[in-house]
């Protein structure tokens, strides 16, 4: 049996802005997205016969059938590229927290798409793979591309940016989830008081200025976060107090991330939060 192992890196939103609600029910976004070293692992066994797609999740609290984005990505790849499935077994080993605002499921789906392209359609253009990715989910095109990206529209209009300066990142997910549809439902764009300075963030990244880039972090979802999720801001304040350059929520939360310019301070912040929160991580910009 052929065995192929892949890493599926998580993402953080260095900025997240909502511009308008569209007629199709989606929202036009403007975001700077960044992959980090925190990752899931996907083990693929292709060409295993039987013509079926199977997925095992090693006890992780995620669906392992057609509802899983990795499974959906495999099915769509075979359908969209008119490629017969000669059997595909997948094993998912989760490390990215679930429902955390870090695109864990999207990262898994993206890895499946890239792996299958390499196996079955190596000449398939990246743009075509990203088109298939969008059918899986809004964050999947970014996860296919990775790196530092300005994403607009639903997330499918992407501009690759200069590499974000590599630095320590501390992440902490409190013990609750937040409904993404609920947060979108709370947003009235005309009533938002502040918007992230995405243009300034892009400029800072182009200059390679970590401190300037950190000062431009922003996420409009923080403004409409219900009061019962105030723990997000408590974690943010603890990270800032531990010496972070800046900190904020990624995606629709509830995970909070912080950028550091000092490994020792980052480790200290990680160790302090890990005493209170099991899903705390010390990672790096990828």
C-alpha dihedral over 262, 270, 222, 180, to 10 degrees?
130
104 is in an annotated binding site: yes
97 is in an annotated binding site: yes
258 is in an annotated binding site: no
Catalytic site includes residue 11: yes
Three-class SS state of 202: helix
Of 51, 71, 74, 53, nearest to 62 (Cα)? 71
Annotated catalytic residue within 72, 139, 173, 216: 139
102 is in an annotated binding site: yes
Query: What distance in Å separates the CA atoms of residue 130 and residue 80, rounded to the nearest whole number?
Result: 12
Query: What distance in Å separates the CA atoms of residue 49 and residue 282, rounded to the nearest whole number?
Result: 40
58 is in an annotated binding site: no
Omega within 30 of 0 (cis) for the link into 254: yes
Residue 221 dihedral angles phi and psi, to the nearest 5°: -65, -25
151 is in an annotated binding site: no
168 is in an annotated binding site: no
Query: What distance in Å separates the CA atoms of residue 137 and residue 77, rounded to the nearest whole number?
Result: 13
107 is in an annotated binding site: yes
Residue 131, CA distances (Å) to 10, 138, 227, 253 in order: 20, 11, 38, 26
101 is in an annotated binding site: yes
99 is in an annotated binding site: yes
44 and 82 in contact (C-beta within 8 Å)?
no
Query: What distance in Å separates the CA atoms of residue 71 and residue 56, rounded to the nearest whole number?
Result: 10
105 is in an annotated binding site: yes
Annotated catalytic residue within 11, 72, 94, 114: 11
Pairing mode, strands 218-219 and 27-46: unpaired
User: What positions carry a catalytic annotation?
Assistant: 11, 139
> Which residues contribute to the annotated binding site?
97-107
> Which residues contribute to the annotated binding site for ATP?
97-107
């Amino acid at each position: 049996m052929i065995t192929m192992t892949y890493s599926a890196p998580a993402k953080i939103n260095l900025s997240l802005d909502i511009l308008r609600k569209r007629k199709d029910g989606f929202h036009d976004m403007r975001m700077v997205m960044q992959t980090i070293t925190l990752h899931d692992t996907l083990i693929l066994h292709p060409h295993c016969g039987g013509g079926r797609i199977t997925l095992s999740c090693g006890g992780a609290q995620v669906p392992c059938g057609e509802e899983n984005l990795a499974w959906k990505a495999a099915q769509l790849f075979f359908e969209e590229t008119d490629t017969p499935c000669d059997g595909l077994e997948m094993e998912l080993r989760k490390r990215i927290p679930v429902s955390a605002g870090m695109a864990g499921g999207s990262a898994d789906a993206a890895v499946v798409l890239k792996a299958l392209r390499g196996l079955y359609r190596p000449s398939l253009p990246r743009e075509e793979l990203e088109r298939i990715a969008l059918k899986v989910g809004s964050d999947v095109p970014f996860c296919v591309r990775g790196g530092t990206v300005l994403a607009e529209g639903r997330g499918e209009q992407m501009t690759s940016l200069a590499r974000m300066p590599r630095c320590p990142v501390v992440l902490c997910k409190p013990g609750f989830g937040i409904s993404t549809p609920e947060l979108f439902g709370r947003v009235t764009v005309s009533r938002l008081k502040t918007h992230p300075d995405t243009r300034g963030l892009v400029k800072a990244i182009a200059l390679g200025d970590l401190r300037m880039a950190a000062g431009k972090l922003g996420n409009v979802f923080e403004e409409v976060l219900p009061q019962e999720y105030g723990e997000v801001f408590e974690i943010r304040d603890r990270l800032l107090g531990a010496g972070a350059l800046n900190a904020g929520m990624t995606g629709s939360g509830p995970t909070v991330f912080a950028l550091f310019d000092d490994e020792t301070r980052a480790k200290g912040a990680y160790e302090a939060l890990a005493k209170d929160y099991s899903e705390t991580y010390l990672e790096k910009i990828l």
